Amino acid sequence: MKGYKIFLMVVMLLLMPVFSSARAESYPYLLERNLTSHRSIASSVWAVMGDMVFLSTEERTLRTFGLSEWKQEGFAMPKEGDEVSLILDYGNTIIDITESGGKGGFFGNEVSGKVHLFNGPHMWIAIKTNDGEMQAFALKDAAATKLNGIESGRPIILALDGENRVMDVFRP
């Protein structure tokens, strides 16, 4: 019986790369551009503990946001009751955080092109735009996760925040 289980595990491990979604032609991590997949929800700081900011949303859920990311967004040190808007993508991932009532930078603030170089650990991407120009952009965490394993030459659309950082990624 043990030999049978070991054989099945080996077969599964060998076949995983074949069926891996990261190798699929459609690259499912990138959805087609659809701005209605983003939504904004009001939230307020519930607590700050260690390196995490806990946010209470209008949907009565608790969301967390890293303190270092909070500071990168240009906000002062959070205190209980501070109000912000969270911009969520189709997967309910926080892709941006803005001042209360803000809508984020994804409405028309985007760049199209082909991936030239992607550096996940250093959180940046370089693309060759449709005009033939090379541009490099800093990535936010959610966008870097979606780009994991992307290959050079892949056409993409980068949605940018107000500071020209990539907050979301789509396929054309």
- Residue that terminates a domain, selected from 62, 78, 99: 99
Instruction: List the CATH number of the domain containing 163.
Output: 2.40.50.140
How do the pLDDT tens digits run along the chain, 172 residues long?
566 666 656 655 555 554 443 443 455 455 555 566 677 889 999 999 999 999 999 999 999 988 888 888 888 899 999 999 888 887 788 888 888 876 655 555 889 999 999 988 889 999 999 888 999 999 988 888 888 888 899 999 898 887 888 988 887 7
**Residue 110 CB neighbour total at 10 angstroms:** 17
Question: For residue 11, what pLDDT is reported?
Answer: 58
The reply to whether 120 and 143 lie within a common domain is: yes
Domain count, the chain: 2
- Residue that terminates a domain, selected from 66, 99, 132: 99
Residue 57 near residue 40, CB atoms below 8 Å: no
Q: Structure pTM? A: 0.67
The reply to whether 57 and 95 lie within a common domain is: yes
The reply to whether 140 and 93 lie within a common domain is: no
Instruction: List the CATH number of the domain containing 43.
Output: 2.40.50.100
Domain range holding 145?
A: 106-170
The reply to whether 136 and 153 lie within a common domain is: yes
- Residue that terminates a domain, selected from 77, 99, 121: 99
The verdict on residue 25 lying in a domain is no
Outline where DSSP puts E strands in 77-138: 83-88, 94-99, 110-119, 124-129, 134-138
One DSSP character per residue, 26-44 reads T-TTSPBP-GGG-EEEEEE
